[in-house]
Amino acid sequence: MVLVIATAGLVYELVIAAVASYVLGDSVTQFSTIIGLYLSALGLGAYISKFIDRRLALTFIDVELAAALIGGASAPLLFLAFSYTAAFHFILYGMVLVVGTLVGLELPLLMRLLGRELSFKDLIARALTFDYAGALLGSLGFSLILVPKLGLAKSSLVCGLLNAGVGLVSTWILPSADAGERRSFAGARVRAVLVLLILTAGILESERVTGLAESALFPGKVIFGEHSRYQRIVLTERQNAGHKTFQLQLNGNLQFDTADEYRYHEALVHPAMQAARHHAAIAIGGGGDGLAAREVLRWPGVERITLVDLDPAMTDLGKHNPLLRKQNREAMNDPRVEVHNSDAMVWFRDHDQRFDVIILDFPDPTNYSLGKLYSARFYRTIFQRLTDGGALVVQSTSPLFALRAFWCIDATLRSVGFHTAPYHVFVPAFGEWGYVLAMKQPFRPPRDLQVSGLEYLTPDTLRLAFNFPEDMRSVEVPVNRLDNQALVHFYLDAWARWQ
């Protein structure tokens, strides 16, 4: 019993923190504040338990049912709150406090009940052993099974079923010296069955609830949603200038709009391909949608594209989803494209292949796990993987909306020995957007294009892209290192001012 409630209690904590990091970003801040408040609430619950002297068994059962209902519904309720109310932070921290307090009540009440049958020494040893084992089980199950297989909403609801099940079973097995309390167990069984039915209905309707939340959060109609092990992947559709377009959202952040993604991807790929001496071996970091690979495949002489994207759900979508296959022109199914689902920082460190062009198309550095892919440590590895005469390009967020973040990426690349040429283009879905082109030796930015059939990029627009107006000029910023993650702070501070 202790094992089950400890497992469920830890999962509630992780689910709430994960939801907050998904919708608010800055995962370190969200996890640290929520875990800190949750632990404090556990202590509050333990303290409150000392004031409960009567009907301990019945109180424990009702605490289990309350934890099951509130903790189990935490993820879907928070998704809805973020989409439909302006009081998300109040609801978030209120839920943490309530669920933490209920979970904090569980173990002291149960230990007092079991203390009627066990010696104090055996009671403490057994209770704490199973409590800590439950914490391990919850943490491993959350990351390895629950989120990858069920998603956040169903994960919290399933753990609610565990708490409710403990409450129901407890009506038969918990000791009670109070005859009136034992008679009350019949009503507790009815409440437990009711909570189990509510949570089961929630599991059956969880996709609809998540879709309802996302329909309010994203413009257009949600046509696909999946909770992978690493992120929430959503495709939406809307009418744009009289015709349908669709958008890819990762954890609520727009990745592209089919109305104008060609601008972004042409500007990302072709300057580097033009600058490079050879085009046989190409590496793409990120880009699981296949759109960067599509542009690379326009060039003659491409023999191999090595695409390294962490999330197999994203690359599978690029390979199999009809909308993405049409948009990437079957690039992900081209025999020259070799997909590796791995952390790019680890993969490039462990594989010593060298590439003529490396394209880093990672999501914006909204958190530290992404910020490391823009760090001096990572760029030093990339420097070693680039051939002499090879070219690197990094998508580098907006030099208008996130000025210091943009120039921090440039400074970080230069700190490891790269020579750089920053540039920018206008992408309507994003606004003014920036990239950094880099090579091992001094070079002049490309002025012509040896590839035809592009929809946006021309020699004239290419030359203009390397000129910056006064409000986007270079500023002095520190290098982004693993131990300071300056880039993440610059990025979050900048975008907070524009929201």
Per-residue pLDDT tens over the stretch 140-184: 888 888 887 788 888 899 999 998 998 898 888 876 667 667 778
Residue 100 sits in which domain range?
Answer: 2-212
Phi, psi angle pair for 267, to nearest 5°: -70, -30
Question: CA-CA distances (angstroms) from residue 479 to 140, 285, 342, 381?
Answer: 35, 21, 26, 16
pLDDT at 498: 67
Last-in-domain residue among 212, 238, 268: 212
Query: For residues 259 and 163, what is the distance between their CA atoms, to the nearest angstrom?
Result: 47
Average pLDDT over residues 280-305: 96
Average pLDDT over residues 32-58: 89
Greater model confidence, 103 or 207 = 103
pLDDT at 452: 87
Query: For residues 273 and 448, what is the distance between their CA atoms, to the nearest angstrom?
Result: 11
Q: Assess contact for 479 and 486: CB atoms under 8 A.
A: yes
pLDDT at 160: 92
In a domain, 218, yes or no: no
In a domain, 303, yes or no: yes
In a domain, 111, yes or no: yes
What is the band of 47 on the pLDDT scale with cuts at 50, 70, 90?
very high
Say how many domains are in the chain.
2
On whether both 392 and 265 belong to a single domain, the answer is: yes
In a domain, 241, yes or no: no
Q: Assess contact for 447 and 459: CB atoms under 8 A.
A: yes
Q: Is 356 helix (H, G, I), strand (E, B) or coil?
A: strand
Query: For residues 200 and 205, what is the distance between their CA atoms, to the nearest angstrom?
Result: 9
Residue 229 host element (H or E): none
What is the band of 217 on the pLDDT scale with cuts at 50, 70, 90?
low
Q: Is 155 helix (H, G, I), strand (E, B) or coil?
A: helix
On whether both 492 and 349 belong to a single domain, the answer is: yes
pLDDT at 207: 78
Q: Look at 24-38, 83-97, 266-280, 369-383 and tell me which has the smallest mean pLDDT.
A: 24-38
In a domain, 242, yes or no: no
Going by C-beta distance under 8 Å and a sequence separation of 6 or more, which residues neighbour residue 453?
298
Give the residue from 465, 495, 471, 479 showing the smallest Cα distance to 402: 495
On whether both 341 and 472 belong to a single domain, the answer is: yes
pLDDT at 422: 98
Going by C-beta distance under 8 Å and a sequence separation of 6 or more, which residues neighbour residue 69?
160, 164, 195, 198, 199
Last-in-domain residue among 143, 177, 212: 212
Query: For residues 437 and 3, what is the distance between their CA atoms, to the nearest angstrom?
Result: 54
**Of 28-42, 51-65, 278-292, highest mean pLDDT:** 278-292
Give the residue from 433, 285, 466, 281 showing the smallest Cα distance to 359: 285
**Residues catalogued as catalytic:** 361
Last-in-domain residue among 191, 212, 233: 212
pLDDT at 241: 67
On whether both 293 and 172 belong to a single domain, the answer is: no
pLDDT tens by residue, 75-122? 889 888 887 888 888 999 999 999 999 999 988 888 887 776 777 777
443: pLDDT strictly greater than 80? yes
Model confidence, pTM: 0.78
pLDDT at 132: 79
218: pLDDT strictly greater than 80? no
Going by C-beta distance under 8 Å and a sequence separation of 6 or more, which residues neighbour residue 351?
none
pLDDT at 137: 87
Side-chain-side CA neighbours of residue 7 (13 Å): 22
Burial 70-86 (b: 16+ CB within 10 A, else e): bbbbbbbbbbbbbbeee
**Residue 332 has what DSSP assignment?**
G
Query: For residues 153 and 72, what is the distance between their CA atoms, to the nearest angstrom?
Result: 8
On whether both 307 and 179 belong to a single domain, the answer is: no
CATH number at residue 375: 3.40.50.150
On whether both 171 and 70 belong to a single domain, the answer is: yes
pLDDT at 129: 83
On whether both 259 and 197 belong to a single domain, the answer is: no
Give the residue from 117, 101, 122 showing the smallest Cα distance to 49: 101
Looking at this protein, which amino acid is placed at residue 348?
Answer: F
On whether both 294 and 379 belong to a single domain, the answer is: yes
Q: Is 345 helix (H, G, I), strand (E, B) or coil?
A: helix
Give the residue from 221, 289, 230, 239 showing the smallest Cα distance to 261: 289
State the residue for tokens 């257009």: 220
pLDDT tens by residue, 307-318? 999 999 999 999
Q: Look at 109-118, 347-356, 432-441 and tell me which has the smallest mean pLDDT.
A: 109-118
In a domain, 247, yes or no: no
pLDDT at 177: 60
On whether both 370 and 468 belong to a single domain, the answer is: yes
pLDDT at 25: 65
Question: CA-CA distances (angstroms) from residue 134 to 98, 127, 191, 455, 471?
Answer: 21, 10, 25, 56, 54
Q: Is 131 helix (H, G, I), strand (E, B) or coil?
A: helix
pLDDT tens by residue, 220-246? 788 888 878 788 888 988 876 678 889
The dihedral over CA atoms of 401, 405, 411, 413, expressed in degrees to the nearest 10, equals -110
pLDDT tens by residue, 457-499? 999 999 999 999 999 999 999 999 988 889 988 998 887 776 6
On whether both 162 and 277 belong to a single domain, the answer is: no
pLDDT at 216: 64
β strands within 263-407, DSSP E: 281-286, 304-308, 337-340, 355-361, 386-395
In a domain, 237, yes or no: no
On whether both 306 and 185 belong to a single domain, the answer is: no
In a domain, 249, yes or no: no
Query: For residues 143 and 123, what is the distance between their CA atoms, to the nearest angstrom?
Result: 31
How far from chain centre, in Å, is Cα 350? Answer: 24
pLDDT at 210: 75
Query: For residues 107 and 54, what is the distance between their CA atoms, to the nearest angstrom?
Result: 16
On whether both 190 and 285 belong to a single domain, the answer is: no
CATH number at residue 27: 1.20.1250
> What's the whole-number average pLDDT of the chain?
89
| DSSP letter for each residue of 45-108 | HHHHGGG--S-HHHHHHHHHHHHHHHHHTHHHHHHHHHHH-S-HHHHHHHHHHHHHHHHHHHHH
pLDDT at 175: 65
- Assign 3-state DSSP to the chain and report helix, strand, coil percentages, each to 5: 60, 15, 25
Q: Is 350 helix (H, G, I), strand (E, B) or coil?
A: helix
pLDDT at 94: 94
